Amino acid sequence: MSILTKKFNDGNEIPIVGYGIGTANSRQECSAQIVSALNTGYRYIDTAEMYKNCPSVKDALAEWGGKREDVFILTKWGLADLSGNNDPRETLLKLLEQMGLDYVDLYLIHTPLVINGRTQSECWKMMEDLKKEGLALSIGVSNYREEDFLAFETTWEIPPAVNQLEYHPYNAHPANMIRMKTICDKHEILIMAYGSLAPLTRATGPPLENVIEGMAKETGMTTGQVLLKWSEQYSGGISVTTSTKVQRQKEQLEAFTIWPPLSDDQVDRIAQVGKERYFRHFGKSIWDKAAP
Ligand SMILES: NC(=O)c1ccc[n+]([C@@H]2O[C@H](COP(=O)([O-])OP(=O)(O)OC[C@H]3O[C@@H](n4cnc5c(N)ncnc54)[C@H](OP(=O)(O)O)[C@@H]3O)[C@@H](O)[C@H]2O)c1
């Protein structure tokens, strides 16, 4: 079973679906879940300093026994309360040691808040140096709005490869998200969609509930698979999801390895109905301050 990949603006590639050790696994020892994900067929593991569980990656890779270079490993700089190291290099060195790695495939600034006392341009220069050093093969950002990109767009030497952010039918439609997508498209910055199951988990009920259930019957997929595929197709990017359950890990992966894409009409129907509701779970303090 092979997983399709998408190409970054620096030429490197990423599997189109990743297994995250945040949210459900956050602050938990989770090597068994990572081993299970790798055995299920995932080849991209999404980690972060904030999740405080990077040592589980080292244990999981040792137990799994496959080659490190066959797994795409992403990590992120920064702690929510800003108590962490204010230097992305020192943080990366710490996380590499915890994970037993020489390099990560992708290193992100977790949110524009963690730059804490430095300018976006200063922080990004430090990120560029990590790529040049080979400690991070690619570099990117997470939870960035249009205005965050504008703050360093004129000074970057290497544009971010990705913007990882909450992305689902209930938050993709506001103007600030459209502007974020426009600036990402301009620089070929790939969207990495997380929280895509919101209509099934954190924002249940109408108006999408019946539509998603109907589309699951129509396609033969599960409702979760429909939502994961929608985010990947509508954003043109990739999907980051998670589950503590082996059966759901398999189901989520199979959305991208077995099932064909949703039709344009199906994608559009979900997008149109999604516009009837607004919901955001992550990064409210940043996005509530975004220009509308
Ligand atoms: N950059 C950032 O700021 C940021 C923020 C958040 C997340 N992330 C990354 O994205 C990953 C995924 O985040 P997420 O938790 O928001 O992803 P999600 O894919 O929207 O939700 C996953 C959660 O939904 C539950 N779930 C899965 N299928 C379900 C279904 N059919 N019905 C009901 N519940 C279902 C799972 O619970 P079970 O365990 O019970 O299956 C799991 O807790 C994280 O692990 C992290 O790596 C990044």
**Ligand 1 centre and the CA of 194: distance in Å?**
7
- Report the pLDDT value the prediction gives residue 85, as an integer from 0 to 100: 78
Contact 82, 116 (CB under 8 A): yes
Q: Residue for token digits 């999604």?
A: 274
Residue 292, pLDDT > 80, answer: no
Strands 238-241 and 162-166: unpaired
> What pLDDT, on a 0 to 100 scale, did the predictor assign at position 291?
64
Token pair in block for residue 213: 């259930």
pLDDT confidence band for 268 (50 / 70 / 90):
very high
Q: Is the CB of 201 under 6 A from ligand 1?
A: yes
Average pLDDT over residues 90-107: 98
Residue 173: what pLDDT?
97
Q: Which residues are annotated as catalytic?
A: 51
The reply to whether the predicted model has a pTM over 0.75 is yes
Report domain extents, the chain.
5-197+235-244
Centre of ligand 1 to C-alpha 19, Å, is 9
What does DSSP assign to residue 159? -
Q: What is the pLDDT of residue 201?
A: 97
Task: Return the residue whose CA atom lies nearest to atom 12 of ligand 1.
Answer: 241
Residue 1 has pLDDT above 80, yes or no: no
Q: How far does CA 1 lie from the centroid of its chain?
A: 22
Q: How far apart are CA 244 and CA 94, in angstroms?
A: 26
Residue 240, ligand 1, Cβ within 6 A = yes
Q: At what angle do helices 264-274 and 223-235 cross, to 10 degrees?
A: 90
CA dihedral sign, ordered 11, 145, 16, 136: positive
Q: Where are the beta strands (DSSP E) in 78-115?
A: 104-109
Atom of ligand 1 nearest to the CA of 224: 31
pLDDT at residue 83, rounded to an integer? 82
Q: Mutation test of ligand 1: which of 240, 249, 286 has the most ligand atoms closer than 8 Å to its C-beta?
A: 240
Nearest to 271 by CA among 181, 147, 186: 181
For residue 91, pLDDT over 90 is answered with: yes
Ligand 1 mean position, distance from CA 222 (Å): 16
Question: What was the pLDDT predicted at 64?
Answer: 97
43 neighbors 17 (Cβ within 8 angstroms): no
pLDDT surpasses 90 at 117: no
Which is nearest to 253 in space by CA: 45, 25, 76, 6? 45
Bridge partners (DSSP) listed for residue 261: none
Write down the residue that tokens 């559009």 correspond to.
Answer: 268
What is the torsional sign of CA 284, 286, 287, 290? positive
Averaged confidence pLDDT in the chain: 96
Query: What is the residue with the minimal CA distance to atom 25 of ligand 1?
Result: 243
Could you tell me which residues come within 8 angstroms of residue 219 by beta carbon, excluding any fewer than 6 positions away? Answer: 226, 259, 262, 266
Residues paired with residue 164 on neighbouring β-strands, in sequence order: 142, 192
110 is in an annotated binding site: yes
* Residue 245 CA, closest ligand 1 atom number: 41
* Model confidence pLDDT, tens digit, residues 3-30: 999 999 999 999 999 999 999 899 999 9
Mean pLDDT calculated for residue range 70-89: 90
237 lines ligand 1 (CB under 6 A): no
Distance CA 119, CA 132 (A): 20
Query: Hey, what amino acid is at 95?
Result: L
Q: Is the CB of 56 under 6 A from ligand 1?
A: no
**Domain 5-197+235-244 CATH assignment equals 3.30.70.640:** no
